[in-house]
Amino acid sequence: MGSNVVSETLLAGVDEVGRGPLAGPVITAAVILSPDDPMLGQYRDSKRVSEKKRIRIYHHIRKHAVAYSVAQANVEEIDRLNILHATMFAMRRAVEGLQIRPAEVVVDGNRCPDMSLPVSAVIGGDDKVQEIAAASIMAKVVRDRLMHYLDSRFPDYQFAKHKGYGTRVHMDALREHGPCEHHRRSFAPVRAALR
């Protein structure tokens, strides 16, 4: 755990971005919001917020949150563990990276990672729990930035355009160039491109 400071009341929300893409890591975030946060009540699932607004909110969270942490499971871990277990692993990493130990953790979805804290899953949590919505925005901004960086290193795949998802542009590039080191070889479309 990042610190021995323990809160009796604080809740950490956890979410992930990037389970479905064929390339890049899965990114997770854990966020503990302040009860004095002026945006409390206004956080939304990252998919419902424009890119420009997500970036503004990301900086707001960094400034106003009690604590936040971003973690990942890389492509090698995804291929070795499978995407579900890699995601759970990355969620636990995000919580362990918090500088303040929360009293409770809530995770978006229907599965909880193993951890030493009380943890529960909330289906549709990014629409129901402000801390999870904030975590979804943190994770999305970080992953999008990473995919823009990978686009600059591997321009043939146009990662900035599709963020690693299996769009037609991405599938055409996979067929033409084969996978790069950031493609998930355990995913069927990438395996097919290896032949």
pLDDT of residue 2 exceeding 90: no
The tens digit of pLDDT for each residue in 105-118 reads 999 999 999 999 99
User: Does 11-144 carry CATH code 3.30.420.10?
Assistant: yes
**How many angstroms separate the CA atoms of 138 and 58, rounded?**
6
pLDDT score recorded for residue 3? 46
Q: Which of 180, 141, 168, 171 is nearest to 62 (CA)?
A: 141
Residue extents of the structural domains in the chain: 11-144
Q: What is the mean pLDDT of the chain?
A: 94
**How many angstroms separate the CA atoms of 190 and 172, rounded?**
12
pLDDT score recorded for residue 1? 40
Confidence of residue 129 (pLDDT cuts 50, 70, 90): very high
* Averaged pLDDT for residues 75-86: 98
Chain center to CA of 76: 16
Handedness of CA 53, 54, 57, 58 (dihedral sign): negative
Structure tokens given for 65: 């949150």
More confident site: 31 or 7: 31
The tens digit of pLDDT for each residue in 152-168 reads 999 999 999 999 999 99
- 49 phi-psi bin (left φ>0, alpha ψ -120 to 50, beta other): beta
pLDDT score recorded for residue 9? 79
pLDDT score recorded for residue 176? 95
Pairing of strands 104-108, 119-122: parallel
pLDDT score recorded for residue 5? 52
Residue type, position 77, single letter: E
* Averaged pLDDT for residues 175-193: 95
Q: What percent of the chain has pLDDT over 90?
A: 91
Q: What is the 3-state secondary structure (H, E, C) of the chain?
A: CCCCCECCCCEEEEEEECCCCCECCEEEEEEECCCCCCCCCCCCCHHHCCHHHHHHHHHHHHHHCCEEEEEEECHHHHHHHCHHHHHHHHHHHHHHCCCCECCEEEEECCCCCCCCCCEEEECCHHHHCHHHHHHHHHHHHHHHHHHHHHHHHCHHHCHHHHCCCCCHHHHHHHHHHCCCCCECCCCHHHHHHHC
pLDDT of residue 90 exceeding 50: yes
pLDDT of residue 57 exceeding 60: yes
For the chain, the straight-line distance linking the first and the last C-alpha, in angstroms and rounded, comes to 43
pLDDT score recorded for residue 8? 60
Q: What is the pTM of this model?
A: 0.92
Structure tokens given for 184: 């998930």
